[in-house]
Amino acid sequence: MAVRHSGGGSADRTLALLWRNHKQAEPSRPTKLGRRPTLDLDKVVDAGIALADERGLAAASMSGVAKALGVGTMTLYTYVPSKEELLDLMVDQVLAERDLPAPGEPRPTGWRDQINLYSEQTRAMFHRHPWLASISTIRPPVGPGMLAAREYLLSACAVLGLSPRQTNTAALAITTYIDSAAGLEAESDQLERQTGQSHDAWWTERWDLWETYFDQDRHPTMTAIWNANGYGDGTREAADESYRFGLDRLLDGIEALKR
């Protein structure tokens, strides 16, 4: 995973880029002087996302993106202050892809269905862009995409009638679970595609573990579950099942507070 240090450029500049299509607080450029640009920021961000989608986050290097756009590497720096900023823009753009109803728009009636909508949209997003999982999300890019999703989730939790403080806490817990679990799921899928090695094949390659190193006496519960076929056949469904199970239990627990 790549780690954003998120301190390079000025925060103001980054915010201006993130919100570039939302408010023109300043009437943008005053003049039309100088050489005309061949690209624009959206093209750069789109190219970065496309590369990362197809060939992994590592392929979205500055030189890779430039090559994909048919320009020199350094040309990108006219549009983006640094790679870190480019990543921020890519992240917020895919965060905004989720189709979540805005305030006032129709939405599922029940609380759980509203959360499930967030869950499914987020899962689909991670599935389309598995590289997202390997980017740190503390101090995320505070762009329109992130804020819209947070607003939706908070508004869904608001109907529980908890205190404002607890509403926020509950929403945080839910995002933590959904984002992490969906990210893990997507990362696993991506590995299968990228390495061509299924999760099962990966375990088979480690057959030596059970043969040579595994000590049943030190791992009685694992052994018992194994013997009872508790691990199922495909690890894919197990992950799926556990995702839903965990989310449902978490929502059960939260709903029980409502009285």
Can you give the binding site for DNA, defined by CB under 7 A? 8, 31-39, 61-64, 71-75, 77-79, 82-84
Residue 242 binding target from a second copy, DNA, none, CB below 5 to 8 Å by type: a second copy
Q: Which does 82 bind (CB under 5 to 8 A by kind): DNA, a second copy, none?
A: DNA
> Which pairs count as long-range contacts for 233-242, CB under 8 Å and 24+ apart, including other chains?
234/199, 234/200, 235/199, 235/200, 235/203, 236/199, 239/184, 239/185, 239/188, 240/185, 242/181
For residue 137, give the 3-state DSSP assignment. Answer: coil
Question: Which of a second copy, DNA, none is residue 83 near (CB under 5 to 8 Å by kind)?
Answer: DNA
Residues 68-107 contacting a second copy, CB under 8 A:
102-103
Residues 97-156 that bind a second copy (CB under 8 A): 102-103, 133-139, 142, 147-148, 150-151, 154-155
**For a second copy, how many residues bind (rule: CB under 8 A)?**
93
From candidates 29, 212, 233, 259, binder to a second copy by CB under 8 A = 212
Count of all residues that appear for the chain in the document:
259
CB of 6 to a second copy, least distance (A): 8
- Report, in Å, the least distance between residue 2 CB and DNA: 9
Interface region with a second copy, contact rule CB under 8 A, candidates 28-36, 78-86, 107-115, 192-200: 192-200
Q: Does 43 bind a second copy (CB under 8 A)?
A: no
Say if CB 101 and CB 107 are below 8 A apart. yes
Q: Are 254 and 248 in contact (CB under 8 A)?
A: no
d(C-alpha 8, C-alpha 251), whole Å: 39
C-alpha distances out from residue 223 to 40, 219, 250, Å? 58, 6, 28
